[in-house]
Chains A and B, each alone.
Chain A
């Protein structure tokens, strides 16, 4: 893992900061001088995982680039809640163009910076899962293929939340959305391959691909930092729970993210040039029910009758992730 294992300090590497850590080992978010790139006053829902993930990522990118950063933003929650006229929450140069063109807009920004000899200024493109895995996929793949000097960050909350929770190609099987209601013989979203964008990005063999999760701040920051050390197309896929769309408590956002990782539902990995280079191990493995139960979008799996078949299927997917990416150390049966 790129997140360096720091010497044991009371709470190890798990908390945001720690008074006992050497300042060089503290997270960006622990720093009183952090940028707060996405500032207070934004209109995200209470407990919004995307607002949190975006500030984590962009603050880290700002730190890594010495504040020489420009961001392009896809249409979606992040855009709408951050920039309703006459107020913007962004503290950085930022542009919103369209839903599906963010990667291309970023390419244009990078090209302009290159031609103007300002390659010290770096470019981030960001969007939700809909803007990334669906409508923005063409532009994203093009940006990857050309290896443009852009870091694309997808904040994945597994559906179209801005429009009222409709299914996207990142929506998991069985999840209830407004377009995959929990009715009929197979309630919720159909099971299928979905679109595993991190793997698709790896197939482009771009210099850097990583997944991250809002519950593992240090790992997320380390990945953004690593991404900023590299030139060319880079992709980070951040898992961000959505209290509104998932039907979870606003205070459970980080807990749900943690459960996604600890159950194996969401593998936290990184890869360079198409090859897996790091895996964040599961610390305390849990059954998928622990992840599913607190979410109303999966409530139909537990009541009025227990849908064992669907839960088993989800468990099988988690087990596959664990096997495929080696999320649990074979020797100890546990992660770090």
Chain B
């Protein structure tokens, strides 16, 4: 049923249709509206057979989910940013134990400086935690990916993060097709756990594993993610058959067949990039877009295949690894190994900075002329940066960087320090 609603509410409504049995919630922006929605549905009886638990921290949220999942309950939670870091230890534990928890990550920057706006740093901080990470391009896909995530997680017994851009998607009102309960039930069977805590068949879960078997355990987790590379496209195909629309899959390509230049990105920014590419195509440039839906497992072969004819690849990513550079671009480079293609890394949209069509337009023109640096920071205010660097050179006690920059930019009154 088509519905004009906030992204968070679309996700909440869809998650409810997945019949989660235990939901644990701890507030953090910008994910709060999702659990608020679910809370209301549990309270008003819309969502039955579900325990909604208000926990005291994200660490507890993931831990409650671990306990519930290990006891055979379909378990769900949502978080963002600092919350994901606070639960980090449990995040690794859930995947290590092979528990198919589904978690919405409303992507948000990580402080300090504290920042509630969107980028992908939080997701990237956990990219090696053993979870599958699926990125939604829009609210329809955000909703749909949850249905696929429960099915996939339970099939391979690994947890999945469904990543959707904070505010940009979570708080955006747009039309979303919310499926019926029958449709979801037909696609998503009840959870049949691979292991369960049950007095009828007692087991010890969570043994201490030493050097004699640890590598094997880790490899098996990897092998299951590799299996997911086959399973994800299959589930997307089944999804199309059941729901009549494309959602999910490993990657999504746009105008890449003849493209000399391919722009790679994750999440909602793909819309702006496609609009920009449309303009550039009209101007005669052979340029296309590759959206990565499954960042973990990383679809190396699919990307390698999709970019085989391009001369250059521009990775626009909302995160970066300080001291090295791009994160997504490094994985993409792996997919393009042994080829004489150029690859440009572009860091954009950190902490919620808008990625505008005009900035992208200029950036891509330069890229197509191969005038880009290996690593580019889109719309970086060099004046502010240079002023601060100069200040630090001159004064030992140069003060807090963030506040200095804000003062320079006139956001904070001068002389406040």
> Do A and B touch directly, given a CB cutoff of 8 Å in the complex?
yes
- Taking a contact as CB atoms under 8 Å apart, the answer to whether B206 and A107 are in contact is no
B209 near A70 with CB under 8 A, answer: no
The residue among A70, A85, A97, A121 with the most chain B CB atoms within 10 A of its own CB is: A97
Q: Mark A91-108, 1 if CB is under 8 A from B, else 0.
A: 111111110110011111
Known: A83-B207, A104-B59. A115 touches B199 (CB 8 A): no
With contacts defined as CB atoms under 8 Å apart, how many contacts are there between chain A and chain B in the complex?
Answer: 170
Bitwise interface map of A from 42 to 69 toward B, beta carbon under 8 Å scored 1, else 0: 0000000000000000000000000111
B63 lies within 8 A of A139 (CB)? yes
Contact string against A for B residues 70-82, beta-carbon threshold 8 Å, 1 for contact and 0 otherwise: 1111010000000
- Which residues of chain B from 9 to 27 have a CB within 8 Å of any chain A CB? 21-22, 24
Is B90 positioned at the interface, with any CB of A under 8 Å from its CB?
A: yes
Which secondary structure dominates chain B's binding surface?
mixed
Say yes or no: A101-B71 contact (C-beta < 8 A), given A83-B207, A84-B207, A111-B22.
no
Contact partners of A313 in chain B: CB under 8 A: none
Instruction: Return the chain A residue nearest B212 by Cβ.
Output: A85
Q: Is the CB of B204 within 8 A of A70?
A: no
Interface centre among B61, B66, B72, B75 (most CB of A within 10 A): B66
- Segment at the B interface, from A2-10, A141-149, A294-302: A141-149
User: Which of B47-55, B342-350, B398-406 contacts the other chain?
Assistant: B47-55
B95 CB, min distance to chain A CBs, angstroms: 12
Q: Using A83-B208, A138-B57 as known contacts, say yes or no to A108 and B64 having CB atoms under 8 A apart.
A: yes
Q: Check B208 against A95 for contact (C-beta < 8 Å).
A: no
Q: How far is B199's CA from A27's CA once the two chains are assembled, in angstroms? A: 23
Question: Which of B97, B197, B203, B213 has the most chain A CB atoms inside 10 A of its CB?
Answer: B197
Query: Bound complex: CA of A100 vs CA of B61, how far in Å?
Result: 13
Determine the residue in chain B with the shortest Cβ distance to A83.
B207
Is the beta-carbon distance between A96 and B207 smaller than 8 angstroms?
yes
Give bound CA distance, A148 to B93, whole Å. 22
Q: Is A30 in contact with chain B by the CB < 8 A criterion? A: no
Per a CB cutoff under 8 Å, which of B49, B53, B63, B207 touches A105? B63
Q: Which residue of A lies closest to B22 (CB)?
A: A111
Q: Report whether A95 and B56 are in contact in the complex, using a CB–CB cutoff of 8 Å.
A: no
**A148 → B minimal CB distance (Å):** 8
Task: Tell me whether A114 is interfacial, beta carbon within 8 Å.
Answer: yes
Q: Are the C-beta atoms of B199 and A83 separated by less than 8 Å?
A: no
**Interface of chain B residues 229 through 275 with chain A (CB within 8 A):** none
- Checking B49, B53, B207 against A146 with a beta-carbon cut-off of 8 angstroms, the contacting residue is B53
CB–CB B66/A88 < 8 A? no
Q: Is A72 among interface residues, defined by CB-CB distance under 8 A?
A: yes
Find chain B residues with CB under 8 A from A104 CB: 55, 59-61, 63-64, 67
| A138 and B63 contact, CB distance less than 8 A | no
A113 at the interface (CB under 8 A from B): yes
- For A95, what are the chain B residues with a Cβ–Cβ distance below 8 Å? 66-67, 70, 97, 197, 204-206
Asked if B145 is at the interface (CB within 8 A of a chain A CB), the reply is: no
* Neighbouring A residues of B157 by C-beta, 8 Å: none
CB pair A91–B202 under 8 Å, yes or no, is: yes
Asked if residues B204 and A108 are in contact (CB atoms below 8 Å), the reply is no
**For residues 149 through 191 of chain B, which have their beta carbon under 8 Å from a beta carbon of chain A?**
none
B204 A68 Cβ-Cβ under 8 A: no
In-complex Cβ contact of A116 among B61, B73, B205, B209 (8 A): B73
Q: B199: which A residues are within 8 A, CB to CB? A: 67-70, 92-93, 121
Q: B23 — nearest CB in chain A belongs to which residue?
A: A111
CB pair B205 A94 closer than 8 Å: yes
A291 to B69, CA, bound (A): 45
Chain B residue nearest to A73 (CB atoms) is B206
Instruction: Tell whether B44 is near chain A: CB-to-CB under 8 Å.
Output: no
* CB-based contact A142/B67 at 8 Å: no
User: Given A70-B199, A105-B63, A111-B64, A80 and B56 touching (CB < 8 A)?
Assistant: no
A152 close to B (CB within 8 Å): no
Q: Which residues on B sit within 8 Å (CB–CB) of A116?
A: 21, 71-73
In angstroms, Cα B70 to Cα A148, docked, is 17
B198 touches A112 (CB 8 A): no
Give the distance in Å from the alpha carbon of A95 to the alpha carbon of B66 in the complex.
10
Least CB distance from B73 to A in Å reads 4
Give A61 Cβ to nearest chain B Cβ, in Å.
12
24 CB contacts below 8 A, A to B, read A68-B199, A73-B206, A85-B209, A90-B202, A92-B199, A94-B202, A95-B66, A96-B208, A97-B67, A97-B90, A97-B97, A98-B93, A101-B59, A104-B67, A105-B63, A111-B53, A112-B68, A112-B72, A114-B51, A115-B50, A116-B72, A142-B55, A142-B56, A145-B56
Which B residues are closer than 8 A to A by beta carbons? 21-22, 24, 49-51, 53-57, 59-73, 75, 89-90, 93, 97, 197-199, 201-210, 212-213
* Inter-chain pairs besides A80-B208, A83-B208, 18 sampled, C-beta below 8 Å: A83-B207, A85-B208, A85-B209, A85-B213, A95-B67, A97-B206, A101-B60, A101-B89, A106-B67, A107-B60, A108-B66, A108-B71, A112-B70, A115-B49, A115-B50, A139-B56, A142-B56, A142-B57
